[in-house]
Structure 1
Amino acid sequence: MHPKKTLLAAVAACALAAACLPAQAQTVRIANQGDALSMDPHSLNESLQLSITGNVYEPLVGRNKDLSLAPALATGWKQTSPTVWRFELRKGVQFHDGTPFTADDVLFTFARIAGEGSDMQSYANDIKEVRKVGGYAVEIETKGPFPILPDVLSQVLIMSRKWCEANNATKPVDRRKGIENTASFKANGTGPYRLRERQPNVRTAFVRNGNYWGKIEGNAQEVVFTPIANAATRVAALVSGEVDVMEPVPVQDIARINASPNARVITGPELRTIFLGMDQKRDELLYSSVKGKNPFKDKRVRQAFYQAIDMNGIQRTVMRGASRPTALMVGPGINGWTAEQDKRLPYDPEAARKLMAEAGYPNGFEVAMNCPNDRYVNDGQICQAVAANLARIGVKINLQAETKGTYFPKILRRDTSFYLLGWTPSTYDAHNALNALMRCADDKGAGQFNLGAYCNPKVDELTLQIQAETDKTKRDAMIRQAFAIHAEDIGHLPLHQQSLAWGVSKKVELVQLADNYMPFKWMSIK
């Protein structure tokens, strides 16, 4: 048998065998279509990875069940000047190896996320300096006024300086280069759960931290996370009781799970927006039949692609209604979104063909499209539908759908011409999407996920103004202006916001968050 098939068979068998996942009391068994690619919380800015590692590591500022800000490793924070924030640190906290948490760990972490190999640079690109104020307070000075800094820091997970230095893990694992270190497989945080066992793509086990500084509301003593790529196998494991929680639930299986005696589906809106990006920087695309020029530099081509995609059809046939077509790079629930701006250009293949002809491509062209097939809801099928839509205007898509383990390193190297990506603004504010997805990319973290290098200096200027503005009315007007410019440019091709669907055993109680994070500390099992 092929090694890959052997691994898949082993994973499926493990998901369905009680011997692999013992049904012990107070053990919660979770299955997902993919795995976290690393235990290093700074190596990949992806919500599944941060959701998992966020049970082991903690930020200075956390989130409540309603996603409002909550004290975590900082007990309080305040602005001492327009560009300086002071954070009071929690005393008496220990990392899992018993090392005390201090201000040195905060300074180390911020240097680590800003450095080589970090996928979290966009969270630090506007920080000028982090300095100690005694052993249990830090000041963070920003390059300009930054009123939403505490929201930004809710995704920056603090690591132990001593542990990283002792384990040669002072730099993050670089997913673009495939470099691994101790932090890939081991973990040492301050969080409510400890990493007990890590078998990538097979099984990751966590146990309750008996020395946790805070309250753990749930009763889960052990959490076992298993990736099960096959959707039918995942559903069968839930319905049979071999796993307790799984996501995403295939939209076609929601009714079946709800009709089963053992499980139900918890649904809700998700804050993630799925979109397509295009290489708008290179003078010649890496993977296209067009030589000597880049068709994506022409707005008419970008608009033709936009108007050739039948999002209502994709919503109906691929997503079975469990999505919301969008015209913006953020959706409802994100500060700065407005219904007035969220109106897509009409689906119009004839207009698209005319635009292609005007741009000099009356017969279309070939281009490769990169897509994950185990990261977002029906991601592979979405890309297939887009490819079929674009064929109607003469564009031949060479679809490269692959597991996120190889997909993310490829596109993060910007080794792509046309790609699909999803984004949840971790601050629940439009500035996050503007800074990470729409700003001109630099080597300091601005536009870190603007993988097609869209660039409009006016959007950059507005993003910095939005970052500094404290008057909400003025700030919201600036956000609308930035979104209008990006939409006029056809900077990206927004597709939809997908819906959350978690399959949950009737024995389990948990909290579903709109950012699709899954905190173990709020899980209980009967």
Structure 2
Amino acid sequence: MPKKQSMLRKSALAFAITMALAGAAGAKTFRIADQGDALSMDPHSLNESLQLSFTGNIYEPLVGRDKKLGLVPALATKWQQVNPTTWRFELRKGVQFHDGTPFTADDVVFTFARAAGEGSDMRSYTNTIAEVKKIDSHTIDIITKTPFPIIPDVISLVYIMSKKWAEENKAERPVDKRKGVENAASFKANGTGPFRLRSRDPGVRTVLVRNLNYWDKVETNVDEVVFTPIGSDATRVAALISGEIDMMQPVPVQDIARLTRDPNLNVMQGPELRTIFLGMDQKRDELLFSNVKGKNPFKDQRVRQAFYQAIDIEAIKTRIMRGAATPTALMVAPGIKGFDPALNKRLPYSVDAARKLMADAGYANGFEVKMNCPNDRYVNDSEICQAVAGMLARINVKVNLEAETKGTYFPKILSRNTSFYMLGWTPGTYDSHNALNALMATPGEGGQGQFNLGSYSNPKLDELTAKIASETDEAKRNAMIAEAFKIHSDDVGHLPLHQQALAWAARKNVSVVQLPDNFNMFKWVVIK
């Protein structure tokens, strides 16, 4: 039989098997809704937890995470540090991408170059890497610029793509959300994960089906996942209660008690590792969106502190978040390596103190500034921003609030087209170095400070961040992390608000694993 005919018959057989399974009595469809959509299927285009969680069911890293967020082998079976700056990874053999292409070291080398390249939103995970070197077809070395003992943790969100597929689909570079640049990787996907992409209708519905050729055993009995973004809280809740969907996230804080009483539902709550904070443009000599001309008020530490002390965080916790938030003074949450509870003490809420600081800085009459905020990304995000705007009015600051869907919000703020903004951050490495490197270090080469969107800068913090990366003594490392956080707090580099609480809800017959990073791995979903 000619080779082409044989391949066609195999493809037809695989399709028939898939259709048969989908129609079998035991086939299960998992219907899940979120307040927003995954904005792209490109795993390197947006460093956002919803997108990385969703695409993490299609694509895989070299090193994965278990149900307790511990490191486990994924596309690498084992790894070891062969010298202070070199880590050797042995790759899993016999793995295929969804299109049948074998997974090899060439795909790993290609992926890390892509993730570190122009347009990538994952550069803060690769900026310590000097080279990814192919040793043989299933062995690679990751060579770092300096000793970097946490490299296995850092690369757990760098998902591996097929070099061949990317080249054939002209997707060698990531989709660049900042510039509105799209390519095939935004709508198509070809990973090695337990689920493959069947259809993609952005903003409406995305459908995944089981990868029947997956290299590992999975717990799930789900054959199909239907993901639907539903922005309206009331509509999302109604869909769950009526049985139109099997799970929703997040549960609106005002509906948690009601859904908990529903005998057909299970509400899952827990602490989240994400910190919600506000950032300010501290680089431009004149703010883009303000009535202050020729100056930038946010360059003055007294103004930043005035904003901080004018925010009534307890009112936000009780009235906006209904108790489902933990106020914080730090940019990382408890549970993140390096978190120091001794430093987690907020400046006191005081309108009088804030007014004096504004007067001392020369802004007794306040000023106007535009605030950018999403309305479908974090729990009660636009409501929090509205509350902050009202609180800042007490110190004569007029906030012109612009709340919008994350589809237009993220490209805007990631291109630094903002003066005052909200962002949430969960360190993908579960280590404080990630927040220091991505959020607080001066924006520089590679991915340093990639998400420091207001360009806060302190040379001493930069120096400590570099030392923390290579320090192997845990006590010394934690002391340097504490010193760096103290510098940032004293500078009021950002305005930390709180860690929001996780709240998922599902039908009683659905079993899922809720992780504190808010990732939902479908390979662990079981429908009874």
Question: Is the 1:436–1:450 contact (alpha carbons within 8 Å) kept by the matching residues of 2?
Answer: yes
- Matched residues in 1 for 2:433 and 2:217: separation? 32
Question: Which amino acid letter does the alignment assign opposite residue 273 of structure 2?
Answer: L
Question: Which amino acid letter does the alignment assign opposite residue 406 of structure 2?
Answer: K
Q: Cα deviations across residues 446-465 of structure 1 (Å, max 9, x unaligned)?
A: 00000000011111110111
- Decide which moves more: 251-260 or 327-336: 251-260
- Matched residues in 2 for 1:174 and 1:85: separation? 30
Q: Secondary structure at the match of 1:30?
A: strand
Q: Secondary structure at the match of 2:178?
A: coil
Q: Which residue of 1 aligns with 2:280?
A: 278
- Matched residues in 2 for 1:271 and 1:215: separation? 29
Question: Is the 1:247–1:501 contact (alpha carbons within 8 Å) kept by the matching residues of 2?
Answer: yes
Q: Secondary structure at the match of 1:466?
A: helix
Q: Which residue of 2 aligns with 1:365?
A: 367
RMSD in angstroms over aligned alpha carbons? 0.9
Q: Which residue of 2 aligns with 1:318?
A: 320
1:261 Cα deviation from its structure 2 partner? 2.6
Question: Is the 2:27–2:221 contact (alpha carbons within 8 Å) kept by the matching residues of 1?
Answer: no
Q: Cα deviations across residues 44-75 of structure 1 (Å, max 9, x unaligned)?
A: 00000000000000000000000000000000
Q: Which residue of 2 aligns with 1:227?
A: 229
Question: Which amino acid letter does the alignment assign opposite residue 327 of structure 2?
Answer: P
Question: Which amino acid letter does the alignment assign opposite residue 452 of structure 1?
Answer: G
- Matched residues in 1 for 2:261 and 2:480: separation? 48
- Matched residues in 1 for 2:338 and 2:263: separation? 42
- Matched residues in 2 for 1:456 and 1:149: separation? 25
Q: Secondary structure at the match of 1:153?
A: helix
- Matched residues in 1 for 2:313 and 2:304: separation? 16
Identify if the C-alpha distance between structure 1 residues 359 and 24 changes in structure 2 by more than 3 Å, giving closer, same or farther: farther
Q: Which residue of 2 aligns with 1:59?
A: 61
1:25 Cα deviation from its structure 2 partner? 4.6
User: Does 1:139 find its partner at 2:147?
Assistant: no
Q: Which residue of 2 aligns with 1:264?
A: 266
Question: Which amino acid letter does the alignment assign opposite residue 466 of structure 1?
Answer: I
Query: Percent same amino acid among aligned pairs?
Result: 71
- Matched residues in 1 for 2:344 and 2:104: separation? 45
Q: Which residue of 1 aligns with 2:240?
A: 238
1:26 Cα deviation from its structure 2 partner? 1.1
Q: Which residue of 2 aligns with 1:476?
A: 478
- Matched residues in 1 for 2:116 and 2:183: separation? 18
Question: Is the 2:312–2:349 contact (alpha carbons within 8 Å) kept by the matching residues of 1?
Answer: yes
Q: Cα deviations across residues 453-510 of structure 1 (Å, max 9, x unaligned)?
A: 0011111110111110011011000000000000000000000000000011101001
- Matched residues in 2 for 1:323 and 1:252: separation? 13
Question: Is the 1:193–1:209 contact (alpha carbons within 8 Å) kept by the matching residues of 2?
Answer: yes
User: Does 1:519 find its partner at 2:526?
Assistant: no
Q: Secondary structure at the match of 2:354?
A: helix
- Matched residues in 2 for 1:127 and 1:266: separation? 38
1:24 Cα deviation from its structure 2 partner? 9.0
Question: Is the 1:311–1:495 contact (alpha carbons within 8 Å) kept by the matching residues of 2?
Answer: yes
- Matched residues in 1 for 2:118 and 2:328: separation? 35
1:339 Cα deviation from its structure 2 partner? 1.3
Q: Secondary structure at the match of 2:273?
A: strand
Q: Which runs of 5+ in 2 are unaligned?
A: 1-24
Q: Secondary structure at the match of 2:257?
A: helix
Q: Cα deviations across residues 362-402 of structure 1 (Å, max 9, x unaligned)?
A: 01000000000000000000000000000000000000000
Question: Is the 2:240–2:247 contact (alpha carbons within 8 Å) kept by the matching residues of 1?
Answer: yes
- Matched residues in 2 for 1:222 and 1:388: separation? 45
TM-score, normalized by length of structure 1?
A: 0.95
1:41 to 20, 40, 43: 43
Structure 2 matches for 1:4-43, cutoff 5 A? 25-43=27-45
1:101 Cα deviation from its structure 2 partner? 0.2
- Matched residues in 2 for 1:256 and 1:313: separation? 23
Q: Secondary structure at the match of 2:481?
A: helix
Q: Secondary structure at the match of 2:274?
A: strand
Question: Which amino acid letter does the alignment assign opposite residue 266 of structure 1?
Answer: M
TM-score, normalized by length of structure 2?
A: 0.95
1:262 Cα deviation from its structure 2 partner? 1.6
Q: How many corresponding residue pairs?
A: 504
Q: Which residue of 2 aligns with 1:114?
A: 116
Structure 2 matches for 1:266-345, cutoff 5 A? 266-345=268-347
Structure 2 matches for 1:127-526, cutoff 5 A? 127-526=129-528
- Matched residues in 2 for 1:123 and 1:331: separation? 19
- Matched residues in 2 for 1:411 and 1:390: separation? 21
1:259 Cα deviation from its structure 2 partner? 1.4
Q: Which residue of 2 aligns with 1:5?
A: none
Question: Which amino acid letter does the alignment assign opposite residue 66 of structure 2?
Answer: N
Q: Secondary structure at the match of 1:225?
A: strand
Question: Which amino acid letter does the alignment assign opposite residue 373 of structure 2?
Answer: C
1:427 Cα deviation from its structure 2 partner? 0.7
- Matched residues in 1 for 2:381 and 2:81: separation? 42
Question: Is the 2:326–2:498 contact (alpha carbons within 8 Å) kept by the matching residues of 1?
Answer: yes
- Matched residues in 1 for 2:145 and 2:409: separation? 34
Question: Which amino acid letter does the alignment assign opposite residue 54 of structure 1?
Answer: G
